Structure 1
């Protein structure tokens, strides 16, 4: 495959020109998006090739801050460790909004064969790991850099104020640290200007390029992480009866936890997920260890259901361990992500903008998503809209594409330019009072 940066002419041909609207028109938005398209792709490739883990996004934040300063915007750095913000004041009075992008990568070794493939390695939880933008945050950063340049170019025509938020650690702060949206808020991301609406987006492999996905109300799940420590008694592998095997007990706990959702919770209205993703125990084939640690995640859409399942996790683990002669301790980590809640009125107001960009048949009402996003913290405070942008190449089965967080996660680059146009359209239409 030959890699080329889409030109403004190619983008116009691919997505068409927008229809005219008052003040800044759809055609003007399309033209401005075309002018920054090549830059957006170039920035994305650069960030992709130099990924950084949560709370370590120093190179990325400098790239962002330098760009915003060149645009003539007042820039604030160092929020929540590496966060960057800037404020654009339009030439006319109007509303205040915020646009957010996340910057961090994941401890994943890239397997996608592209010229800008990441070969970065680092240490994570005591192990050497690859680092990859396997969730698409590189495209989010480049996208918002492009939107900022677009809005600055039409500053005098725009009413209102825009706060640009480049946020670290969406994937979660390293152990023992704080980070992400909650820390951005704690450290005063809205102290300079208080928006009346916040907009954000996420690229996804589950939709093809040129397709946008949304949902009004609850959209993405609340997430909790937890650790279960199972204490047994060490013995020789040939004499299991002389000790208490925490591996067997922990295995039974893993299976028992699955019955919480499948047999104990009414999931006919709202789903829930309990997953154990990490299981640590033992050092040698013929030694039964004295301890096992398991790490898991809980996904819910309702506060009462969340509280109920948390109690059941503790009850299930403790009682199964006790039945085997072991002991289990369940610890839920602080800093869970709330449910991403899209404001119903804001969603309806933005729909015409999304449909103008993509066309009615390419704007999809999505089901509940059990993935989580710390954008939820902004939505808890301020009416917000978070939507999805497809990045699987047209003609490919998006349901079969490698998912976000996969080492094979692949972004169809025209989808990034499409995201720039979509976010800019939503923002400009809101500022101009389009309904």
Structure 2
């Protein structure tokens, strides 16, 4: 009799577990997203009007934390200075998955003409600068806040736990800070207690509204900051032979970098971009200065190839300086690692995103892009996938629409519900996996 009762109890338990694991219908998700869309739009516009630079997202973090608490989530603030982590525990035990959004704005003077355009300012490198959400992070925050509300409303149907990561300083470590937002949040336990099995994130970019695109393996480039310091000998501009002309050396350095990239890297194997973007030297038209400072960015998709190019550049720049009688110091600092989408998760995700966006609107094999994202650091700890949402204005050719970081960048608010829906379905379907 005891065996029979035990067997019956086990059968009931398994049946209950199976019931809990049933998929939430996409129609249920659609209806919930539409109900909260006015809120999501209002959050986006409020956040757009009140942008904050990296590690200064105090108001933004407060808006996020208050919302998550109102939903009944466990909330931790100050994770990575201004980061916020919310934990939603479903009614039944199960897996753990994470969703991430970035919160920081840029030192950009907005020129979108929107009625809710930013007029905010902030402190950057010792100066007061205009600040704007010129990369779409306001959209990302609003989407993930909306997803948290939808998922909290489905708590009784969820088996497992969802971790919401709202990250500061995605645009890189601010001057004087050793680490950016993702690395610091990880260091301070954003992916611990509970530890997710996987993490997913998104970004709005130029593209046909309603489309989703990404790729397995290397998707977004590793980004390094390059600094070059040249030392020569000051002299009169009329007597260049009496000194060491660092301006001429700087010109040769730029040419050397461009030649190294074009002539020593096979472009058919991995994209590589090495750009010198600033050259600073001198104070007067007829004085050859004694020093020059150059800076730039290196974007790569292969660690071994990147290391080899850095070594060649260091050696070549040193030789150029030596030929003129100058000296050179060369340094490289990583801003973001390679966004490497887990192969298995990438394949699993394609039908989930199609469920959200519709047939023909998902491309899981898009070419890699040389822009960077520090979501990559989360992927170094747990498997993850990062994908893009097309968000060009209606009627505008995506190839001609203003890019991210432009003063005119204005992502299409019509993609807000899709972003909420991709977040929600990604989390639900991951937790529903057998």
CA apart distance, 1:126: 3.4
For 2:296 and 2:168, the matched residues in 1 are separated by 23
Q: Please give the per-residue CA displacement for 1:26-45, whole angstroms capped at 9, x wherever unaligned.
A: 00111111112111111111
Q: 1:204-223 counterparts in 2 under 5 A? A: 204-205=205-206, 207-223=207-223
- 1:140 touches 1:202 (CA, 8 Å); kept in 2? yes
Q: 1:371-390 counterparts in 2 under 5 A? A: 371-390=371-390
Q: Residue 270 of structure 1 corresponds to which residue in structure 2?
A: 270
CA apart distance, 1:84: 0.4
Count of residues paired in the alignment = 412
Q: Residue 341 of structure 1 corresponds to which residue in structure 2?
A: 340
CA apart distance, 1:22: 4.5
- TM-score with structure 2 setting the length: 0.92
Gaps of 5+ in 1: 1-20
Q: Superposition RMSD on alpha carbons, in Å?
A: 1.5
- 1:41 touches 1:417 (CA, 8 Å); kept in 2? no
Matched, 1:175 2:175: yes
Q: Residue 299 of structure 1 corresponds to which residue in structure 2?
A: 299
Gaps of 5+ in 2: 1-20
Q: Residue 197 of structure 1 corresponds to which residue in structure 2?
A: 198
- 1:391 touches 1:416 (CA, 8 Å); kept in 2? no
Q: Please give the per-residue CA displacement for 1:372-409, whole angstroms capped at 9, x wherever unaligned.
A: 11111111111111110011024321011111111111
For 2:234 and 2:417, the matched residues in 1 are separated by 57
Q: Please give the per-residue CA displacement for 1:225-260, whole angstroms capped at 9, x wherever unaligned.
A: 121001111122232222222122111101110111
Q: 1:256-335 counterparts in 2 under 5 A? A: 256-333=256-333, 335=334
Matched, 1:153 2:153: yes
SS at match of 1:381: coil
For 1:416 and 1:403, the matched residues in 2 are separated by 18
Q: 1:52 to 1:228 in 2, by over 3 A?
A: same
CA apart distance, 1:98: 0.4
For 1:228 and 1:159, the matched residues in 2 are separated by 53
For 2:43 and 2:394, the matched residues in 1 are separated by 23
- TM-score with structure 1 setting the length: 0.92
Q: 1:89-238 counterparts in 2 under 5 A? A: 89-177=89-177, 178-205=179-206, 207-238=207-238
Worse overlay, 123-132 or 106-115: 123-132
- 2:173 touches 2:335 (CA, 8 Å); kept in 1? no
For 2:254 and 2:68, the matched residues in 1 are separated by 48
CA apart distance, 1:306: 0.9
